[in-house]
Amino acid sequence: MDIVLRATFAFAFIVFLTRIAGRKELSSLEPIDLILLVVMGDLIQQGVTQSDYSVTGLVLAVGTFGVLQATTSWAAFRFGPFRKLVDGEPIVVMQDGKVLEANLRRERISLEDLAEEMRGQQLASFDDVAWAVLESNGKISFIPKTR
Amino acid sequence: MPDIPDTIVVRRHRDLVGRRHEIWVRRGLLALVGAVLALGLADVFGQSPTTDKAEADAATLKIVAPASIRGGLMYQCRFDVHANRELKKATLVLDKGWLQGLTINTIEPSPLGEGSRNGSLVLELGHIPAGDVYSLYIQYQVNPTTVGRRSQVAELADNGKTIFRIHRKLTVFP
């Protein structure tokens, strides 16, 4: 029972932390983010299973994560308010070539970050962008102007 | 104005109408996590030792042990018995709070004898000459499933006669 409760708490804490940390942190996967992912995984394991090396413990911990992930995903699909709570909503950061700086500031995204993302989608100039939307997964979608 | 992408609602997703508070909720929750970390730095979750002391004509007992610990941690408790006069047959009696859900890895120096009295652990320390200090170290590990707040009572006795008791609290965080 203990492992299931620990895994449930760990899952809820991870969802909570990723939700409040901001989307910029979600989208980037710099070397430091990769290292942090591995380190956090190890720290979570220690808190969940502690000194339990059994296969039963493994099944309980991984099973709990799997069931919670599937349940969260289903609830987000089924209930709109819950989806907004766990996934968030998109934010428009550019419209018709104009950068909406207040919205960028809110998500701690600099103009340089935006330009970098834009270049990644083969767009050279802000003027080429009709819409840029910061999605709930942290990625920025650019919709080019039609010529 | 270019066509609005499907499912994007300009008022909500661009002008953030009804979403202005979100950022403050997020910052508030982040500050809450920061506060928990600050509490950790302030040693609220253990495991720095605290000192409890009791004094009588016959002896002084000082217990140096953490008041807060966490599941799985290894830690040490030290019992310093200072004999103000000769103690012929000193015994240290530890109630269940010192034992339940905790693993004792070792006790150094080994007591002359061990026993049980009303569910408490009796450690026979033996003869302590006047002016001498007997230090007993107990190395613990917290069982991972142990959690909660409990009282701990340590009693020092000589020749079966209680000299004093020390009452303290121990908090075990999950």
- Which three-class secondary structure state does DSSP give residue A128? helix
Instruction: Fill in the amino acid letter for B29.
Output: L
Alpha helices (H) in chain A, listed in sequence order = 2-21, 23-27, 31-49, 55-78, 80-87, 101-106, 111-120
Contact A38, A45 (CB under 8 A): no
Same domain, A70 and A107: no
CB spacing of B72 vs A50 below 8 angstroms: yes
Number of domains in chain A: 2
Same domain, A81 and A96: no
For testing contact with chain B, the best of A17, A45, A89, A104 (most B CBs within 10 A) = A89
At A113, which CATH number? 3.30.240.20
Q: Return residues 21-50 of B near A (CB < 8 Å).
A: 23, 26, 29-30, 33
Query: What is the domain class of B49-173 according to CATH?
Result: mainly beta
Of residues B10, B33, B144, nearest to A50 (C-beta): B144
Contact A21, A27 (CB under 8 A): no
Strands in A98-99's sheet, in edge-to-edge order, are A98-99, A91-95, A129-134, A140-144
The residue written with tokens 């009796």 in the block is B122
State the pLDDT at residue A37: 85
Same domain, A51 and A106: no
B101: left (phi over 0), alpha (psi -120 to 50) or beta: left
| Tokens encoding B37 | 């970390």
CB spacing of B2 vs A146 below 8 angstroms: yes
Q: How far off is chain B from A67, nearest CA to CA, in Å?
A: 23
Contact A11, A18 (CB under 8 A): no
Instruction: Give A17's contacts in chain B (Cβ within 8 Å).
Output: 33
pLDDT tens for each residue of A90-129: 999 999 999 999 999 988 889 998 999 999 999 999 999 9
Q: Tens-of-pLDDT digits for all 174 residues of chain B?
A: 668 899 899 899 999 898 888 889 989 999 999 999 999 999 999 889 999 999 999 999 999 999 999 998 999 999 999 999 999 999 999 999 999 999 999 999 999 999 999 999 999 999 999 999 999 999 999 998 899 999 999 999 999 999 999 999 999 998
Report the distance separating Cα B85 and Cα A74, nearest Å.
73
Same domain, A11 and A48: yes
Instruction: Give B2's contacts in chain A (Cβ within 8 Å).
Output: 95-96, 130-131, 143, 145-146
Residue B174, chain A, CB below 8 Å: the answer is yes
Q: What ipTM does the predicted assembly reach?
A: 0.76
Of residues A20, A50, A130, nearest to B30 (C-beta): A20
Same domain, A70 and A118: no
Same domain, A108 and A69: no
Contact B125, B136 (CB under 8 A): yes
Same domain, A71 and A103: no
Tell me the residue range of the domain where A106 lies.
91-144
Q: How far, CA to CA in Å, does A107 sit from each of A25, A55, A114, B160? A: 10, 42, 11, 70
| Tokens encoding A37 | 């992912």
Closest residue of chain A to B13, computed from CA coordinates: A91
Half-sphere exposure of B28 (CA within 13 A, CB side): 5
Closest residue of chain B to A136, computed from CA coordinates: B13
Q: Where are the domains of chain B?
A: 10-41, 49-173
Residue B1, chain A, CB below 8 Å: the answer is yes
